[in-house]
Structures are given as structure tokens and as C-alpha cells.
Amino acid sequence: MERTFIILKPNAVRRGLIGEILKRFEQRGIKIVGLKFLWMTQEQCEKLYEPHKGKPFYEELVNFMMSGPVVAVVVEAPRVIEMVRHIVGATDPLKAEAGTIRGEFALTVTKNLIHASDSVENAEREMSIFFSPEDLIEYKLDIQDDI
């Protein structure tokens, strides 16, 4: 079993896409184990995007991520890091396949609606910025016997 970290970016919230996006994970059988609605602080944002510090898009990205509230999510399933990134689609919405979240709803690279961790190490690092271990809920999905 694997866990990953997701953020619905401020434009996903402002566009009323919280339900639409979470539905796509739920309908695949992916279990939500952590969920928070919050306005990111500068410190949280800098920690999250620490690997991108110094890149040309960094300032714009950080400002955008703090422009409104976000939804932070931790999900659990087998091979969930790869599965979530598959459902999310390519970073550039122009290259994101039809049927993916970015391929259906996003227009620009910065405002690509959603963040999803790309490795076990990053998932652990990123979720720890927003969730403490007791925030993550253990339970069984009704469908869990099937997967």
C-alpha cells in the first residue's frame, strides 16, 4: 500500500472543481485518508516548492499558490503515486491527454489546477508539511475487498 499527496490549487477551488476532481480519485477506488481546506502560508509554500527554488517560474508559482484557499489531500492505494499522476495528466495542459484532469479542465502550466507528488520521498516530505500522523485516518472502504 502506498500513499501520495495532492493539492487542489487555488483556481480549482475558485472554479468550483473540488467535487469534480475528488470524484475522479474516489471512482477509481482510491482512498482519501487526509483532507484539509486551508490558505497556504509563505512558509508552507516555500517548503512545498523548495526543489523549484531559483527556477524562472518559481515566484509566479508561489504567488499563485497563495492567491486563495487550497484543498490538501492524502490518498492511499497500491501504486497510487503513479496512478494519481496518470489521472492528473502532464504538467503542461497542452500535452495532457484527453480524459485527464489537466487535459479536460486546465489551460496554462502555472494554473494547471492540481499538484501531485512524483515519488515516495517527495510524497512523505510534502504531506508532512500539511499533515501530522494523527491527521491521517485509518479505515476500510466498502470496495476495498475488490482491489
Closer residue to ligand UDP (CB): 50 or 147 = 50
Whether 52 is catalytic is: no
Closer residue to ligand UDP (CB): 125 or 146 = 125
CA dist list (Å): 132 to 34, 110, 112, 127, 136: 10, 28, 27, 8, 7
Cα–Cα distance, 68 to 53 (Å, whole number): 21
User: Is 91 annotated as belonging to a binding site?
Assistant: yes
Residue tagged 480549482 (cell numbers): 12
Closer residue to ligand UDP (CB): 20 or 110 = 110
Residue 115 as a binder of ligand UDP (CB under 6 A): the answer is yes
Q: Which residues bind ligand UDP (CB under 6 A)?
A: 52, 57, 61, 91, 109-110, 112, 115, 118
